[in-house]
Chains A and B, each alone.
Chain A
Amino acid sequence: MSAALELRGVSKRFGGLVATREISLSVMPGERHLLIGPNGAGKTTLFNLITGDLAATSGAIYLFGADVTRLSTRARVHRGLARTYQVLTLFPHETLLHNVVLALLGMERGLHGVWRPLSRRIELTERALSALTAVGLAPSAHRIVGETAYGERRRLELAMALAQEPRLLLLDEPLAGLSREERERVRSLLEKIPRSVTVVMIEHDMDAALAFAERITLLDRGAVALCGTRAEVAADPRTREVYLGV
């Protein structure tokens, strides 16, 4: 069985600055994988390379065994990739429901019509509602994003990603900035993600992240410092050195 995600020697340079250096990484289907490392270690850059927001300077990226290095973001998404953003990237003037509907529309193939009103596409609305229900946002479905609380928006990010029924989900600090209560809520949502979805997560909340992850990659200054099981990484002195201890 091929890996859900495989990176082979992926580097990214911005001018003289090396953001990621020869990163190789393999994530098996169904795995919960955690990316850790200090600020500036290149974690989000790595996500952007995986999604295709950034083009790798060298190296190759495989999704479910297929080389996607040269493919557009969109093509990767249609192969089952979805992500959430650390910095919320939503449509702030639209309703929560509309945000999820946009996520669902993105998965449709072919052209979008210009004649039929979106509101009349009952099946889309229903699917979006059920995605919102799954994250507990159904009551807020018709509110404008800009008027909702931060915690709700974080969950909306998750709902949009999950609505796309991805096979590989990249979560960029899904717990960042949340209250304890909200955090518990999102944690339990993450627990409920079915095993058919592979999850790669960046997270600074170590308790939550360690509880969730099976394998952990430690990035340091754009390179993989360490990769192993939860126990291995936690026990390794280098983790303490580059991250936990500092």
Chain B
Amino acid sequence: MSLRCSAARSLPALGLVLLLAVLPFILPGPFYIAIAHQILIYALLALSLDILVGHGGMISLAQAAFLGVPAYVYVGLSARAGLSPLPAALSALAAGTALAGLFGVLALRARGLGFLMITLALGQVVWGLAYRWVDLTGGDNGMRLSARPRPFGLDLGRPIPFYYFVSVIFLAALFFLRRFARSAFGASLRGTRDQPRRMAMLGHHVFRIRWLAFIYSGFLGSIAGVLFALSFRFISPQTMTLQQAAEVLLMVILGGPGTLAGPLIGAVIITLVKTVVSSYVARWYTVLGLIFIGVELFLPEGLVPGFARLRRRLGAALLARRRPA
């Protein structure tokens, strides 16, 4: 039974791997492949935020900083200091993760709206620094990256190799998050979300659990940040605006916090509306707003859990109808 069970659980995962593998051959052209890898990068950022939001119950508006700061570090170190890609990337990850540690120490003193506001403020401070510290960041002009690296002779400058590069990293992160969700740490983190006082009474170090959640979240978010720098080959303060932070949060809430598929679905929808639908619908901003409202009215737990509920209910209704017959 356990064999069958785990096979059934792996089915969606296998489906995703397959889909990502064949996607470049289905999509009509390189533009859509670029959109696909962008979606994966935003989805990775959303998944990293979901550690805080979905598993930790901490609604943060600072996640865009983990897109921006590692990207700045990567571009700065490789374009200005001439560091080779790997050490530059590792430094970027370290910087992003360290920033997460700092954010955690500060933000975890507050709760509820206070937490939301302090993360908003932290994100804005980083944004403001990027804007104003012109010598280091290039101000609003930002910084450019001349070329993507060529690890093992793989030319990441071309769309399809880069897409697969991002896909593999994304899948690895997804796999990690799946383990994370089922691990002892994941269980403890959800415990602190539901009953923080009880968790302390059970001997858990609530602050440390939450702080580590920040670290993991920041680390995964930083991976998205480095990929962002490689994808767009430039970085500017606009990557860290409140708008961007809100967008990532919306991806999580839209798709369904605490699920693996939710942030991915949220990233797909929001990115597609922004990049593709906006080519055809002038009032795409209104479309996005209507999607948010519609989801909250009809599937308030988010798309993925909401549809699961609908399916269960539908299944139950079908069963009920079959029974008397």
Give the interface of A toward B (CB within 8 A): 51-53, 72-74, 77-78, 82-83, 85, 89-93, 98, 101-103, 105-107, 111-119, 121, 160, 164
Contacts and interface: CB of A to CB of B under 8 A. Distances in A.
Contact of B182 (A106, A118, A164): A118
What DSSP secondary structure best describes chain B's contact surface? helix
Given A78-B203, A164-B203, A105 B184 contact: yes
Given A102-B191, A105-B204, A89 B182 contact: no
Given A89-B197, A103-B203, 14 more contacts: A73-B201, A77-B201, A91-B191, A91-B194, A91-B195, A106-B203, A106-B204, A112-B184, A112-B185, A112-B209, A113-B183, A114-B183, A117-B179, A117-B183
A104 to B, nearest CB: 9
A90 B191 CA distance: 10
A72 B200 contact: yes
Contact of A106 (B185, B194, B202, B216): B202
Contact of B200 (A73, A101, A113, A118): A73
Contacts of B194: 91-93
17 contacts: A74-B203, A77-B201, A82-B201, A91-B194, A91-B195, A102-B188, A103-B202, A106-B202, A113-B183, A113-B185, A114-B185, A115-B180, A117-B182, A118-B186, A121-B184, A160-B202, A164-B202
B142 to A, nearest CB: 34
B201 A105 contact: no
B276 interface: no
Contacts of A113: 183-185
A52 B201 CA distance: 9
A164 B204 CA distance: 12
A119 B182 contact: yes
Contacts of B179: 114-117
A90 B200 CA distance: 13
B301 to A, nearest CB: 12
A84 B191 CA distance: 17
B203 A107 contact: yes
Contacts of B183: 112-118
Interface in B185-218: 185-188, 190-191, 194-195, 197-206, 209, 212, 216
Nearest to A78: B203
A21 B83 CA distance: 66
B201 A102 contact: no
A193 B194 CA distance: 29
A102 B184 CA distance: 8
Nearest to A79: B203
Nearest to B197: A53
